[in-house]
Structure 1
Amino acid sequence: MYAQQDSPRLSVEAYLAGEEGSELRHEYIDGQLYAMTGASDRHGLIVSNLVAGLRPLIRGRGCQLFANDMKVRLRIAGQDIFYYPDLLLSCAADDREAYFRTKPCVIVEVLSESTERIDRREKFLAYTTLPSLQDYLLVSQTRREVWHYRRSQDWAAEVLSDGELRLDCLGIGLPLDLIYEEIEALQAT
């Protein structure tokens, strides 16, 4: 997933300006850039399914849903960090920067072999420092499995392979059948 760029430390302002015109996306950790790689067809379908399922449910709630291209900004131990989650939902009216959000209530990462360790450890620890975050989902693209971490459960994982996952942020359920629609067909080919 990552290929560190050999460059001097960048300021947050220089990073944001560079990302605005860049064809390649980079995550930013305390002045260092990490290039993002492409995604598989399963990854893209899962993210699309989540957007298609969530979008009608958030209409009229003042929430904004973003897939792949909206950064989340964190400040941890004096370090600025910008990640590109696969999906983020922000319902805070005062969280409307043009190129990043700071108060998401749901973050989703679709796991791949190259990102799983980072998503499960580094990003989990970073994201759970956000007071606004209620739900963190790790979605497998190789098997029908979603790890649902919730603030209301002290970030203990609930592993789902069937039924419905209930998002605390919205008070709604989302069927796993919807998340994995068309994925089984791909695995059979």
Structure 2
Amino acid sequence: MTALAKASPLSIADYLAGEEVSDVKHEYIGGTVHAMAGATNRHNVIATDALVLLAVQLRGKPCQPFNGDTKVRIEFPDHTRFYYPDAMVVCHPNPATDHFQDQPVVVIEVLSESTRRADLGEKRDAYLTVSSLKVLLLVEPDGASVTAYRRRSEGGFAVEHYDGLEAAVPLPEIEASLPLAELYARAEIEG
């Protein structure tokens, strides 16, 4: 019996070069790449509205939002990961020629059924290791509900829940907020 050869890990340089010309986005985890599934229209409407709400509130301020085409690089002692959050806010951006950011302050992930397990596990845990991160927002696509992981001054993260169209996620870390009525205004959700 012949043993199958193990594929060599893809270098970071090769991954980044490939993403520049690829029609499909890929996340990178320690040398392996994973194609990203397409999102629903509702998912994209919510992600776009989050970005627009933040862009309007951050105009003229030092922090700036980035859309889902910009990766976050997360460095672990033994490997590197690149994820594409749906939106993020960065106060100390990488050079304009980079295709990723290293220091997000706010990360927004709109959940989806196909990626829920990874979003609530591996990705959430990885984002929470980023030293610059102040708030991670996990946004439900089918109802007005957002879970926030907010960095505490004494260390670690507090979990906060915002439910219903009358709620708003405060983001004093960047002098902004996300009213759920506006975040979900065009998402065609019930209640």
After TM superposition, the score normalised by the length of structure 2 is 0.88
Match of 2:177 in 1: 173
Give 2:182's aligned amino acid. L
| Aligned equivalents of 1:131, 1:104: Cα separation in 2 | 9
User: What does residue 63 of structure 1 align with?
Assistant: 63
Retained in 2: the 8 A contact 1:72–1:84? yes
Q: Give runs of aligned pairs for residues 8-27 of structure 1, distance below 5 A.
A: 8-27=8-27
| Partner of residue 159, structure 2 | 157
Q: Find the structure with the greater CA-based Rg.
A: 2
CA distance in 2, matches of 1:99, 1:49: 22
The residue that corresponds to 1:3 in the other structure is none
The CA RMSD measured in Å over matched residues stands at 1.8
Contact 1:105 1:133 in 2 (8 A): yes
Q: Which sits farther off after the overlay, 53-62 or 164-173? A: 164-173
**Which residue identity is paired with 2:77?**
A
Q: CA deviation at 1:77?
A: 2.8
Write the letter of the residue equivalent to 2:20.
Answer: E
2:136 corresponds in structure 1 to 136
Structure 1, residues 87-137: CA drift from partner, whole Å, max 9, x if none? 1111115x3352000000000000111111111111111111111000100
Partner of 1:35: 35
Return 5+ residue gaps in structure 2 as ranges: 1-5
* Superposition deviation, residue 152 in structure 1: 2.2
Query: Which residue identity is paired with 1:149?
Result: Y
Code of the aligned partner of 1:82: F
| Contact kept? 2:143, 2:189, Cα under 8 Å | no
Q: Which SS does the other structure have where 1:149 is aligned? A: strand
* Cα distance in 2 between the residues matched to 1:36 and 1:179: 24
Looking at structure 2, the residues matched to 155 and 25 of structure 1 have their Cα atoms a distance apart, in angstroms, of 29
Preserved CA contact (<8 Å) 1:7 1:32: no
Q: Deviations over 1:5-35 (max 9, x none)?
A: x953110000000000111110001110100
2:182 and 2:146 mapped to 1: Cα distance?
12
Q: How many correspondences in the alignment?
A: 181
Which residue of structure 2 lines up, in the alignment, with residue 118 of structure 1?
Answer: 118
Once residues 186 and 61 of structure 2 are traced to their aligned partners in structure 1, the CA distance between those partners, rounded to angstroms, is 29
Partner of residue 44, structure 2 = 44
The one-letter amino acid paired with 2:85 is: P
Q: Give the whole-Å Cα distance in 2 for the aligned partners of 1:173 and 1:85.
A: 18
Confirm or deny that 1:105 pairs with 2:109. Answer: no
TM-superposed deviation, 1:169: 2.5
User: Aligned partners of 1:177 and 1:186: how far apart in 2?
Assistant: 11
Structure 1: segments with no counterpart, 5+ residues: 1-5
Q: Percent identity?
A: 39
Mapped partners of 1:105, 1:49: distance in 2 = 18
Q: Give me the whole-angstrom Cα distance separating, in 2, the residues matched to 1:173 and 1:108.
A: 13
Q: Runs in 1 of length 4+ with deviation above 2 angstroms?
A: 185-188
